[in-house]
Structure 1
Amino acid sequence: MSLFWRIFGLNAVVLGAATALLLWAPVTVSVPILLPEAAILLTGLGVMLVANAALLRIGLAPLDRLSRLMSTVDLLKPGQRLSAPVRGGIAEPVHAFNAMLDRLEAERATSSARALSAQETERRRIAAELHDEVGQSLTAVLLGLKRTADQAPDPLRGELLLAQETVRDSLDEVRRLARRLRPGVLEDLGLAAALTSLATDFATHTGMKVSRGIQSGLPPLEREAEVVIYRVAQEGLTNIARHAEADRAELAIHRTGSSVVLRIDDDGRGIGEAAEGAGIRGMRERALLLGATLDIAPSPAGGTRVLLTVPSAGKGARP
């Protein structure tokens, strides 16, 4: 039965019941109307309105749920669906909406995969240019300053040595940026070594104490999964440095059943009710690529916990 006929039927039932009461009830209406008769008529009208409203609310309840979900659905949090009635006109739009969400989530995952793949390619290109072009230029400047400082008189040598230290610091920063853009240790030594290097580098440059818990014997992961885990860990530590006001952080990865779980805890001020920024949404997009789940919640330490659960797979896995 279509929605139109369902609503028509509900109203017909209410109006038919009211008509039957008027036909067979021993109540008459005088002219002019008497107060008891007016009270009976108004009571009957009230009963009809209440019954009609209750029946319509029951019949249209799935549409209310559909409207609320449409206003709050987030494609980065998949699996949000409505349970449709077994039959009736309302089941059709609910099924259509659920099917639309299926298509949108699949298209979003495909487009995100392409965008993130292009992003990784561009990061590798920029890292190579930083290392090969900018790094070599700064190295040449550094060597030139050293030769000049060796031949310069004492009053000028101090300034040249200071300039040499500035260039050396800039060269170190360029190399650090290149490593962040293209984690060579991940490609060469694997995920555990890359996460260890990431935590050490983070602690060195922020002064924060970072504890590590890298379980040995992790199941084999696809190369894409290793990149996603590394990038989520990188973004999570970056968010701690920028926003958490924390003194300690913990980076851990372990095996749970057939899944690999990455956990990042801090003792900062917590995420609270703040809206998710581009960094967290980027983490969710990466998790979607693998069918992984990303949970961000308060940490037992008082700050924030980031939990990434990645299903392991053998296809394309690193040996």
Structure 2
Amino acid sequence: MKRMTISGFCVVLLGILPISGLLAQPDKISRLEKELDAYATADTHRVQLQLDLGAAWRNTNPNKALEYYGTAEKLAKALDDTPRRAGAMMMRGWFTARRGDLAKGAAVIREASQLYRAAADSAGMIKCMNTEAGLLSMQGNNVDAMRLLQHCAAYYSARRDTSRLLSVLSNLGSCCTYLGKKAEAIQYREQTLTLQEARDDVAGMAVTLMHIGILQDDLYRGLSYYERAEPLLRKQRNENALAHLFNNRAEDYKRIGKTEKAMESYEQAIELGEKLGLKDIVAQVSMNIAGLYRREQKHERALLYLMRAKLFAESHGMRQLAVKCLVNLGYHNNCLGKYADGISFAKEALQYNDEVLDLYTRMCAHEVIYQANAQRGDFENAFRSFQKFKLLSDSLSSQSSRKRIEEFNAKYGAAEKQHAIDLLEKDRVLQAELLLRRELEAQQKEQTLTLLAQDLDLQRLRMGQKDAALRVATDSLNLAHKEQVLQNERLARESLLRWVFIGVSALLLILAGFIVRYLQQRRKQGELRAKAAEYRARSLAAEAAEMQAENERRERKAQELFSRRLIASQEEERSRLAYELHDTLCQDLIVVKNRLLMAIEEPDAREHVLEGVNTITASLEGVRRMSRDLRPFQIDEYGISSALRGMLKRLDENTPLSIQTDIEAIDGVLDKEKEITLFRITQEGVNNILRHAEATEASVRLQRRNGNVQLSIEDNGRGFDPAAVGGGGFGLHGIRQRVKMLGGSMLVASEEGAGTRLELEIPVVTDSIGMAKTEQLGVMHA
């Protein structure tokens, strides 16, 4: 009976649906999915394909199965296909319940049954009845579930429907197991196994063998059934059934004292339960692991698994399991000295138990309460709970025990109450000592388990290393094969190229013969032309030498003129700076001095001090302006692009000239000296417009094109005739010299009354400073 109490719930869920044909075979799933993708017509055949895919995914991926059933239901509803719609709804309701929403799942199944009833489909109604029985069993109502299942068995037996009869017999065996009717359960299981063997149903035989193993009183015999069932389940990839098998096998290992194997099987069951989203499996296995830790007095770990089992049981509507979790939570909290928590969990279990009506669980809850109250010193409440505990215990054991508790209550008086309290106090001290000793033993066992776990991890790591080495060897073989294939292809390609080379060489030899003959004929003519060309070359060389000498003379003259003008410009700038300093800064400083002297002599000197401050501020602004004119420091701080934008913006704001700018970011393209030269060129070009052009608008564009920096300055002024003025005045000549120093080229286009355009191109990198190419155009259209 104890094996059935712990394992019965796990096996109920295995028989709810037909086992044969539900296993997700990869080849079948792949074939169905390809057929579904290729079949685009929205008709009943597409609905059937979706139903078949849902059935194929049921045991390995319930979420995937639920998705296909939902899609099939919607399409069947649109096509008014009532039988297939009802079938999809029934399966959707079942999987909804399995995911924890029992109420919603039951409502969907009832709706499906009504559709079958409206269509007068008795077979469909029986299917819904079978599925509804599964939900009742999940809720613990196995009596009503058996009643429905017996109707289903009679229906399928009368119609000799062996496939569906197998499912019903399996479900009946599960219900009998949970109700403690062991003989009937074995009888149903043996009938199921006989029919499965006749049908050669390997998948169903595997599940039935596992159920028979659960019912065995001999634990070793039960383990042998599990060993027979496990390879069959793995072969069929029935992960749902494997999860239940691992849980039940772990229970048997726990009872025969093989703790390590039990824990290993529990972990396998939880892993599969979480993978498949089976909350009932996770809850039951967590409860069983807590029982294992209870035997080893590891209360903290037991509490963790019990809380997990409680949460899953409550979310899945498993009230009996939730009550058991609460009672055990109370027990372990008492063991840890958390008596208030222990009482709270036990009282919550009693509230649940009013619905479940499990006398044994109620007795355990009262036991937890009276022990916790006794430890806390609340002997009055402890005695009340003890009375209830003894009453339930006697009800479950024998009539004589009930009489003893009644006699004890009748004889109980004030004097003996105090004596009982003293005994309880002594018992509490002894229990505390015993608890301490057990905690020490538990710590030792925990250390042993930790060492065993580390050894297991080491073995797994070694296995992983071996697998990695095997994969490396396999990859090496594959790589060698690929290299051999590439080598053969390369040899074939080289052979082809060799023959092509031989053919081309032969053609080239023939062509060379014709070319030699042709060249011999041409050589004689070439010799004559060479003599004539030599004579012309000498004449041209003489003319070029004369022109070069003239150009050099003109260049030296231009350089001397530029140098004289540059010196004059420097002297002029120095004189201007001297006048600026004398007329502005010196005069302002004298005014400040006089203001400060007046402030010293006058009591109320605030106005004079403010005027002196304003004068100093204006002087500082003048000094900054002269500083900017002498050295464009913005280049060092912000870069050439920002410096040019700032200079042009100040000119636009402080002069009547309207300047349009298009300055691209060229920072870092040129070195600092070239950037300063470019800045001066731009400054001089705009100043020329201000001094000579009488323009109202101007535009400056700086961009990088084809690896060079291009600068364009254009105005709408009065213009000039470049030929008449010899290429421009001192300003244009200075710009031309600077462009020449940068190794660039300059183009001046102007016409009287039509404005002027300057176009410069400066190379970013040059091996040596080239000569500037300067051209002048006579006409430009603005």
TM range (shorter): 0.5 to 0.7
| Deviation for aligned residue 1:294 | 1.4
**What is the identity, as a one-letter code, of the residue corresponding to 2:672?**
R
**Of the candidates 746, 751, 757, which is equivalent to residue 305 of structure 1?**
757
**Of the candidates 626, 634, 644, which is equivalent to residue 185 of structure 1?**
634
1:251 aligns with 2:700: yes
**What is the identity, as a one-letter code, of the residue corresponding to 2:739?**
A
Structure 2 CA distance for aligned equivalents of residues 224 and 132 of structure 1: 28
Structure 2 CA distance for aligned equivalents of residues 314 and 95 of structure 1: 26
Q: Which ranges in structure 1 are unaligned for 5 or more consecutive residues?
A: 1-83
| Structure 2 counterparts to residues 141-160 of structure 1, below 5 A | 141=590, 143-148=592-597, 150=599
CA shift digits 1:191-217 (9 cap, x unpaired) = 112211211222233132222211125
Q: Is the 8 A contact 2:657 2:698 kept in 1?
A: yes
| Structure 2 counterparts to residues 235-250 of structure 1, below 5 A | 235-250=684-699
Q: Would the alpha carbon gap of residues 86 and 246 (structure 1) be closer, same or farther in structure 2, given more than 3 Å must change?
A: farther
Q: Is the 8 A contact 2:641 2:666 kept in 1?
A: no
Match of 2:307 in 1: none
Structure 2 CA distance for aligned equivalents of residues 137 and 244 of structure 1: 35
**Secondary structure class of the residue paired with 1:87:** helix
Q: Is the 8 A contact 2:749 2:756 kept in 1?
A: yes
**Of the candidates 610, 629, 643, which is equivalent to residue 194 of structure 1?**
643
Q: Would the alpha carbon gap of residues 212 and 89 (structure 1) be closer, same or farther in structure 2, given more than 3 Å must change?
A: closer
| Deviation for aligned residue 1:98 | 4.2
**Of the candidates 289, 302, 308, which is equivalent to residue 741 of structure 2?**
289
**Secondary structure class of the residue paired with 2:536:** coil
CA shift digits 1:110-138 (9 cap, x unpaired) = 98999999999999999999999999756
1:225 aligns with 2:680: no
Q: Which ranges in structure 2 are unaligned for 5 or more consecutive residues?
A: 1-532, 768-782
CA shift digits 1:89-110 (9 cap, x unpaired) = 7434312124436756887899
| Deviation for aligned residue 1:173 | 3.7
Structure 1 CA distance for aligned equivalents of residues 577 and 647 of structure 2: 19
Structure 2 CA distance for aligned equivalents of residues 117 and 286 of structure 1: 12
Match of 1:234 in 2: 683
| Deviation for aligned residue 1:283 | 0.6
Q: Is the 8 A contact 1:130 1:175 kept in 2?
A: no
More strand by share: 1
Q: Would the alpha carbon gap of residues 288 and 86 (structure 1) be closer, same or farther in structure 2, given more than 3 Å must change?
A: farther
| Deviation for aligned residue 1:144 | 2.1
Higher relative contact order (CA 8 A, sep 6+): 1
Q: Would the alpha carbon gap of residues 207 and 88 (structure 1) be closer, same or farther in structure 2, given more than 3 Å must change?
A: closer
**What is the identity, as a one-letter code, of the residue corresponding to 1:308?**
L
| Structure 2 counterparts to residues 87-166 of structure 1, below 5 A | 87=536, 90-100=539-549, 140-141=589-590, 143-148=592-597, 150=599
| Deviation for aligned residue 1:282 | 0.6
Match of 1:271 in 2: 720
TM-score by length of 2: 0.25
Q: Which has the larger radius of gyration?
A: 2
Greater shift in the superposed pair: 236-245 or 166-175: 166-175
| Deviation for aligned residue 1:267 | 1.8
Greater shift in the superposed pair: 243-252 or 127-136: 127-136
| Deviation for aligned residue 1:253 | 0.7
Q: Would the alpha carbon gap of residues 264 and 92 (structure 1) be closer, same or farther in structure 2, given more than 3 Å must change?
A: closer
**What is the identity, as a one-letter code, of the residue corresponding to 2:738?**
R
**Secondary structure class of the residue paired with 1:183:** coil
**Of the candidates 692, 710, 713, which is equivalent to residue 261 of structure 1?**
710
**What is the identity, as a one-letter code, of the residue corresponding to 1:247?**
T
Q: Would the alpha carbon gap of residues 147 and 162 (structure 1) be closer, same or farther in structure 2, given more than 3 Å must change?
A: closer
Match of 2:661 in 1: 212
CA shift digits 1:137-167 (9 cap, x unpaired) = 56744542442464687xxx99999898777
Structure 1 CA distance for aligned equivalents of residues 595 and 569 of structure 2: 37
Match of 1:55 in 2: none
| Deviation for aligned residue 1:291 | 1.4
Q: How many residue pairs get matched?
A: 230
Match of 1:172 in 2: 621
Structure 2 CA distance for aligned equivalents of residues 207 and 116 of structure 1: 28
| Deviation for aligned residue 1:188 | 2.9
Q: Is the 8 A contact 1:295 1:308 kept in 2?
A: yes
Greater shift in the superposed pair: 209-218 or 270-279: 270-279
**What is the identity, as a one-letter code, of the residue corresponding to 1:186?**
I
Q: Is the 8 A contact 2:588 2:619 kept in 1?
A: no
Greater shift in the superposed pair: 265-274 or 202-211: 265-274
Structure 2 CA distance for aligned equivalents of residues 123 and 227 of structure 1: 21
Match of 1:32 in 2: none
Greater shift in the superposed pair: 265-274 or 190-199: 265-274
| Deviation for aligned residue 1:312 | 0.5
CA shift digits 1:273-310 (9 cap, x unpaired) = 586111110110111111111112149x9421111111
Match of 2:354 in 1: none
